């Protein structure tokens, strides 16, 4: 895995820094999406699906707006390296039963390209019942040149409590939160720091790529999804200084900004119950509500492990959809104060996400009782959109084996459309959400 990460890192850094090379795939993707949505719009008109015409136009407008903003982001993404003095950094890692990855996570952080006396590593063992503690203690002995502070909870308290404990332990100017199964590129810190343009920037999300993408078709599918989610969605949001979710796997925060909201974030409640999941999206919401900006670094790269089975992926997605539902409700209270395009993109995304299950049910019913051609033509349009994103991934990474992942993405995500209404229905049930 180490050789694979090193080779992939070099390839992506070289690609990402060539601005013109990055922007060309965006143009190609834009054309591909127009073709795909033109197909969908044509058959909506032909079969008299007027209600779905509005939905198709809405989604296409949102995607095209994102691509324009992504184009803008990459046009200004030419800065590189730390300028001036080296601020003190605390890398914060929270892990629960991560015996297979925790040592490697610490090892990759220890190799970060940054003065050794200017950073520390805080590792929180969240009451693990496996050999996580043993591996953490081994890392402390192995990497003696690095300040490593282990914190061992006697019982599992949840990731939010672990993140808060690391915050309280740290006295550094910046806190870099890294998931316990995520591996940082050695340049990630420098590349992220230069995105803090002024004191109003509170957090920067890193580019997350899939470390175990070659495991099976499920992980290949997620590799495509991650690449697009970060290089398009987060890049477009960053162009307006409003990242809606600084991802938990690898994001860096300004301590002075966290100091204003950490207690509120730690004690957050929804419908009378403590929030125990969606820590990253909630933390980002708190910062945006306080008036801070959030951004994204396309060249600060991290590699994270993803679920390698349909069952694990389904459980993860349900947890994320509950978090998305809760935090979208919270964001409705303040997004109107952000940039008008940020607010518009947010509202359209929420509306189209909620409409998606209804649209699919309508298509199935129409195909069953009115005209059977409706379903295959709809699936063709969805497949064309997915292949367009897959092609963008292939152009961006040099990975030509994208077709199976693209088709699997369509099948898997259509099969999980039930999760949005189910997440909304079961919001008050958070017993399983600690981890």
| pLDDT tens, position by position, 193-249 | 999 978 899 999 999 999 999 899 899 999 999 999 999 999 999 999 999 999 999
Q: Which of 331, 376, 402 is nearest to 40 (CA)?
A: 376
pLDDT of residue 58: 78
Q: Looking at the domain assignment, is residue 4 inside a domain?
A: no
Backbone angles phi, psi at 186, to 5 degrees: -65, -20
pLDDT of residue 264: 96
Query: Quick one: angle between helices 374-397 and 340-369, nearest 10?
Result: 140
Span between the terminal Cα atoms of the chain, in Å = 26
Check whether 12 has a pLDDT greater than 70.
no
Check whether 337 has a pLDDT greater than 60.
yes
pLDDT of residue 404: 73
Size (the chain), residues: 435
Q: Looking at the domain assignment, is residue 287 inside a domain?
A: yes
- Cα 333 from Cα 270, distance rounded (Å): 14
Q: Which of 120, 130, 122, 107 is nearest to 181 (CA)?
A: 107
Domain termination residue (choose one: 291, 320, 337) = 337
Tell me the mean pLDDT in the region 338-364: 88
Does residue 397 share a domain with residue 316? no
Q: Which of 230, 398, 238 is nearest to 302 (CA)?
A: 230
Q: Looking at the domain assignment, is residue 136 inside a domain?
A: yes
Give me 331's structure tokens. 């964001």
Q: Which residue has the higher pLDDT, 96 or 10?
A: 96
Q: Determine which of 10-24, 164-178, 332-346 has the lowest per-residue pLDDT on average.
A: 10-24
In terms of average pLDDT, the best of 3-7, 229-233, 268-272, 417-421 is 229-233
Give me 240's structure tokens. 């307006």
Does residue 333 share a domain with residue 350? no
Q: What is the pLDDT of residues 91-145, one digit of tens each?
A: 999 999 999 999 999 999 999 999 999 999 999 999 999 999 999 999 999 999 9
Does residue 369 share a domain with residue 318? no
pLDDT of residue 22: 56
DSSP 156-167: ---HHHHHHHHH
pLDDT of residue 386: 81
- Cα 116 from Cα 110, distance rounded (Å): 8
Residues with Cβ within 8 Å of residue 392, at least 6 apart in sequence:
25, 26, 28, 29, 32, 228, 232
Q: Looking at the domain assignment, is residue 3 inside a domain?
A: no
Tell me the mean pLDDT in the region 16-43: 59
pLDDT of residue 278: 86
Tell me the mean pLDDT in the region 418-425: 79
- Cα 59 from Cα 82, distance rounded (Å): 39
Looking at the 3D structure of the chain, how many domains does it have? 2
Q: Looking at the domain assignment, is residue 84 inside a domain?
A: no
Q: Which of 176, 13, 149, 148 is nearest to 90 (CA)?
A: 176
Tell me the mean pLDDT in the region 427-434: 55
Q: Which of 300, 306, 397, 302 is nearest to 108 (CA)?
A: 302
Percent of the chain's residues with pLDDT above 70: 84
Q: Which residue has the higher pLDDT, 125 or 412?
A: 125
pLDDT of residue 136: 96
pLDDT of residue 40: 61
Does residue 182 share a domain with residue 61? no
pLDDT band of 377, cuts 50, 70, 90: confident
β-strands 89-95, 119-125: how paired? parallel
Tell me the mean pLDDT in the region 295-322: 92
Does residue 191 share a domain with residue 127? yes
Cα dihedral 322, 323, 326, 332 sign: negative
**What is the signed CA dihedral for 386, 235, 218, 32, rounded to 10 degrees?**
10
Check whether 8 has a pLDDT greater than 60.
no
pLDDT band of 23, cuts 50, 70, 90: low
Q: Looking at the domain assignment, is residue 161 inside a domain?
A: yes
Check whether 14 has a pLDDT greater than 60.
no
| Single pTM value for the model | 0.88
pLDDT of residue 124: 97
Quote the domain boundaries for residue 382. Answer: 19-76+340-425
Q: Looking at the domain assignment, is residue 1 inside a domain?
A: no
Does residue 119 share a domain with residue 149? yes
Check whether 313 has a pLDDT greater than 80.
yes
Q: pLDDT averaged over the chain?
A: 84
pLDDT of residue 207: 95
pLDDT band of 191, cuts 50, 70, 90: very high
Domain termination residue (choose one: 320, 337, 354) = 337
CATH code where residue 274 lies: 3.90.550.10
Domain termination residue (choose one: 302, 337, 372) = 337
Other C-beta atoms closer than 10 Å to the C-beta of 10 total 11
Does residue 407 share a domain with residue 317? no
Chain centroid to CA 92: how far? 18
Does residue 243 share a domain with residue 208? yes
Q: Looking at the domain assignment, is residue 81 inside a domain?
A: no
Does residue 374 share a domain with residue 331? no
pLDDT of residue 70: 87
Other C-beta atoms closer than 10 Å to the C-beta of 86 total 14
Instruction: Identify any residues that bridge with 95 across adjacent strands, giving them in sequence order.
Output: 125
Q: What is the pLDDT of residues 387-398, one digit of tens each?
A: 888 888 888 888
Does residue 412 share a domain with residue 317? no
Nearest 5°: the CA angle 70, 189, 281 is 60
Q: Which of 263, 267, 283, 264 is nearest to 275 (CA)?
A: 267
Check whether 9 has a pLDDT greater than 50.
no
Does residue 101 share a domain with residue 42? no
Q: Determine which of 251-255, 297-301, 356-360 has the lowest per-residue pLDDT on average.
A: 356-360
Does residue 263 share a domain with residue 121? yes
- Cα 226 from Cα 220, distance rounded (Å): 10
Instruction: Identify any residues that bridge with 94 across adjacent strands, giving them in sequence order.
Output: 124, 179
pLDDT band of 46, cuts 50, 70, 90: low
pLDDT band of 383, cuts 50, 70, 90: confident
**Helix (H), strand (E), coil (C) string for 345-386:** HHHHHHHHHHHHHHHHHHHHHHHHHCCCCHHHHHHHHHHHHH
């Amino acid at each position: 895995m180490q050789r694979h990460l090193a080779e992939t890192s070099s390839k992506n850094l070289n690609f990402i820094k060539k601005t013109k090379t990055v922007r060309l795939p965006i143009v190609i993707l834009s054309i591909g999406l127009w073709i795909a949505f033109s197909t969908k719009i044509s058959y909506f008109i032909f079969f008299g699906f007027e209600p779905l015409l509005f939905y198709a136009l809405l989604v296409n407008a949102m995607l095209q707006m994102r691509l324009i903003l992504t184009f803008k982001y990459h046009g200004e993404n030419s800065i590189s390296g730390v300028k001036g003095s080296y601020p003190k950094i605390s890398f914060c890692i929270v892990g629960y039963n991560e015996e297979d990855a925790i040592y490697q996570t610490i090892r990759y952080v220890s190799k970060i390209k940054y003065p050794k006396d200017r950073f520390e590593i805080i590792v929180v063992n969240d009451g693990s019942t496996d050999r996580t503690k043993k591996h953490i203690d081994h890392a402390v002995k192995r990497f003696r040149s690095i300040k490593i502070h282990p914190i061992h909870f006697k019982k599992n308290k949840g990731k939010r409590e672990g993140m808060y404990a690391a915050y309280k332990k740290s006295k550094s100017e910046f806190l870099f939160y890294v998931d316990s199964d995520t591996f940082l590129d050695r340049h990630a810190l420098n590349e992220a720091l230069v995105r803090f343009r002024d004191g109003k920037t509170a957090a920067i999300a890193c580019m997350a790529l899939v470390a175990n993408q070659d495991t099976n078709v499920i992980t290949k599918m997620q590799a495509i999804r991650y690449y697009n989610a970060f290089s398009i969605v987060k890049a477009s949001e960053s162009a307006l200084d409003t990242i809606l979710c600084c991802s938990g796997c690898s994001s860096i925060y300004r301590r002075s900004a966290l100091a204003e909201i950490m207690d509120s974030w730690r004690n957050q409640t929804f419908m009378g119950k403590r929030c125990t999941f969606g820590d990253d999206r909630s933390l980002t919401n708190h910062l945006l509500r306080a008036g801070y900006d959030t951004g994204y670094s396309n060249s600060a790269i991290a590699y994270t492990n993803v679920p390698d089975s349909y069952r694990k992926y389904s459980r993860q997605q349900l947890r994320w959809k509950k978090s998305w539902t809760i935090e979208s409700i919270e964001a409705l209270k303040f997004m109107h104060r952000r940039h008008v395009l940020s607010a518009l993109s947010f509202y359209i995304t929420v509306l189209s996400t909620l409409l998606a299950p209804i649209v699919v049910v309508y298509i199935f019913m129409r195909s069953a009782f009115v005209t059977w051609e409706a379903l295959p033509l709809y699936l063709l349009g969805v497949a064309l959109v997915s292949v367009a994103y897959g092609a963008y991934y292939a152009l961006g990474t040099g990975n030509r084996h994208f077709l199976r992942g693209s088709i699997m993405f369509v099948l898997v995500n259509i099969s999980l459309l039930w999760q949005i209404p189910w997440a909304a229905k079961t919001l008050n049930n958070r017993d399983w959400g600690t981890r």
